[in-house]
């Protein structure tokens, strides 16, 4: 059996269908979990307090920025309903066409999203468009195409990034990577992944019950503390990174 490979050739329409099929079902049966429950909160709390104009893209029901005062943009109608019910300002949209004015936000968070879009250049261009000069931009990206698994396909990933590739891609849009933290909770057991995917495909309601009532609480309980390090740091055997970037449009290289 051949090793699965990144799906760079997928169209936006195909990726939207895959992501909507997975996440709409997930969010329709999940509860909203506040940002203070995640290990990202100690790193983002002070950034959020210092930035009154904030945007979070595609948070689903796992927002990492405060509900009060943050603009949330998501494709999932189920997630938007739950966010609205909790008093958040949330609007329907996608990262490639944000329903926001130019230079609107001092802090932007877009976790677990860049790898889901076919045209990541357009996505980064949109983030640059709505960022104020000097804005902090938080992104997470999976690393190493050679580490691609069936799980990446299942959750709608389009690619993984080589470390040098993500540095260059960010720089093209004026984003300077200042710090990073080792991030992500993908299971290491291929057998466990296969079992989870089978249940999500064939026994979705039962799988969602176990995910929301057992696995998600356990995952939150056993989260490891995150620590910033300069630049990308050592990326060997790192599955995913949380990036803290600064938007410096004057630093954009000439094309």
* pLDDT at 247 (0 to 100): 98
Q: What is the pLDDT of residues 121-149, one digit of tens each?
A: 999 999 999 999 999 999 999 999 998 88
- 226 and 184 in contact (C-beta within 8 Å)? no
- 67 and 96 in contact (C-beta within 8 Å)? no
Rounded to the nearest 10 degrees, the angle between the axes of helix 12-28 and helix 77-85 is 40
**Residue 154 DSSP code:** H
Q: What is the pLDDT of residues 66-81, one digit of tens each?
A: 999 999 999 888 899 9
Alpha helices in the chain (DSSP H): 12-28, 41-49, 77-85, 120-130, 150-154, 163-172, 190-202, 204-210, 216-221
Low-confidence residues of the chain: pLDDT under 50: 1-4, 9, 254-255
* pLDDT at 2 (0 to 100): 41
* pLDDT at 153 (0 to 100): 79
Largest CA distance in the chain: 52
For residues 217 and 244, what is the distance between their CA atoms, to the nearest angstrom?
27
Domain boundaries, the chain: 12-188+225-250
Count the helix, strand and coil residues of the chain and give each as a percent rounded to the nearest 5: 40, 20, 40
* pLDDT at 149 (0 to 100): 82
For residues 35 and 65, what is the distance between their CA atoms, to the nearest angstrom?
6
Architecture label for domain 12-188+225-250: 3-Layer(aba) Sandwich (3.40)
For residues 238 and 162, what is the distance between their CA atoms, to the nearest angstrom?
11
* pLDDT at 250 (0 to 100): 78
* pLDDT at 198 (0 to 100): 60
């Amino acid at each position: 059996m051949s090793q699965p490979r990144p799906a760079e050739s997928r169209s936006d329409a195909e990726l939207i269908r895959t992501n909507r099929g997975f996440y709409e079902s997930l969010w329709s049966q999940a509860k909203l979990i506040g940002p203070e429950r995640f290990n990202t909160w100690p790193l983002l709390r002070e950034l959020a307090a210092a930035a009154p104009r904030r945007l979070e893209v595609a948070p689903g029901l796992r927002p990492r920025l405060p509900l009060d005062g943050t603009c949330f943009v998501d494709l999932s109608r189920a997630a938007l309903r739950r966010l609205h019910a909790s008093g958040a300002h949330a609007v329907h949209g996608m990262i490639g066409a944000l329903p926001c004015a130019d230079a609107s936000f001092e802090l932007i968070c877009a976790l677990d999203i860049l790898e889901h879009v076919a045209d990541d250049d357009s996505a980064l261009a949109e983030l640059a468009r709505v960022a104020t000069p000097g804005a902090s931009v938080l992104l997470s990206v999976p690393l190493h195409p050679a580490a691609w698994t069936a799980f990446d396909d299942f959750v709608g990933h389009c690619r993984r990034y080589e470390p040098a590739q993500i540095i260059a891609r960010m720089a093209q849009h004026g984003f300077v990577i200042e710090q990073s933290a080792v991030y992500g909770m993908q299971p290491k057991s291929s057998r466990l992944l296969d079992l989870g995917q089978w249940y999500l495909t064939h026994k979705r309601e039962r799988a969602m019950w176990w995910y929301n009532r057992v696995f998600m609480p356990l995952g939150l309980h056993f989260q490891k503390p995150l620590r910033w390090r300069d630049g990308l740091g050592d990326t060997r055997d790192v599955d995913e990174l949380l990036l803290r970037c600064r938007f410096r449009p004057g630093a954009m290289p000439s094309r």
